[in-house]
């Protein structure tokens, strides 16, 4: 979906599809260099990371395994509920594996902090985070991603996997959602 289809729902476009693809290629180049000669398991955090995971993995010039987890701390609102639940666990044993958790955004850090702790308890060789977006002002839990596309203001953004009530995920750009949509 093009941003012209939802123009009245957005305050502005933060990143275009072209900017996103270029940033993911930069991140993929760093990841490929850092994990050269090592098996890498990319773990996508459903549902938001689908777009990032697909395009990031295709930007890598190497084989990678992929698995998915679904965890939730949001429900259908715009703020984290504070309670993390596993909705879908990994199908892969990560013991001794290099794991790269891929997410679309780090907001409060609550979900990823909990997820990294959970995965680290499963004896992986390493666990790192790659995220397209991070909101430093919103962080309430310490989370240290190894790969970050952009830091953004603490605004409600949608597109490229980011949603509001399951809408806007298929928007090709990332934009700030207008308050009249969610107020």
What is the set of active-site residues? 107
Q: Do the Cβ atoms of 92 and 36 come closer than 8 Å?
A: no
Rounded Cα–Cα distance for residues 54 and 160 (Å): 11
Q: Do the Cβ atoms of 121 and 89 come closer than 8 Å?
A: no
Helices 50-59 and 17-34 pack at an angle, to 10 degrees, of: 60
Residue 112 CA from chain centroid, whole number? 10
């Amino acid at each position: 979906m093009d941003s012209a289809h939802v123009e009245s729902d957005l305050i502005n476009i933060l990143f275009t599809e072209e900017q996103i693809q270029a940033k993911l290629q930069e991140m993929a180049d760093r990841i490929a260099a850092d994990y050269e000669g090592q098996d890498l398991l990319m773990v996508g955090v459903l549902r938001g990371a689908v777009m990032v995971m697909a395009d990031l993995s295709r930007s890598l010039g190497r084989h990678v395994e992929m698995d998915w987890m679904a965890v939730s701390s949001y429900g259908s609102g715009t703020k984290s509920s504070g309670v993390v639940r596993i909705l879908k666990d990994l199908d892969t044993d990560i013991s001794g594996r290099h794991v790269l958790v891929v997410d679309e955004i780090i907001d409060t850090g609550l979900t990823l902090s909990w997820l990294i702790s959970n995965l680290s308890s499963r004896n992986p060789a390493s666990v790192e985070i790659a995220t397209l977006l991070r909101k430093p002002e919103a962080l309430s839990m310490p989370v240290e991603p190894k790969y970050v596309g952009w830091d953004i203001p603490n605004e409600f953004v949608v597109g490229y996997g980011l949603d509001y009530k399951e809408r806007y995920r298929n928007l090709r750009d990332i934009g700030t959602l207008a308050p009249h949509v969610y107020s």
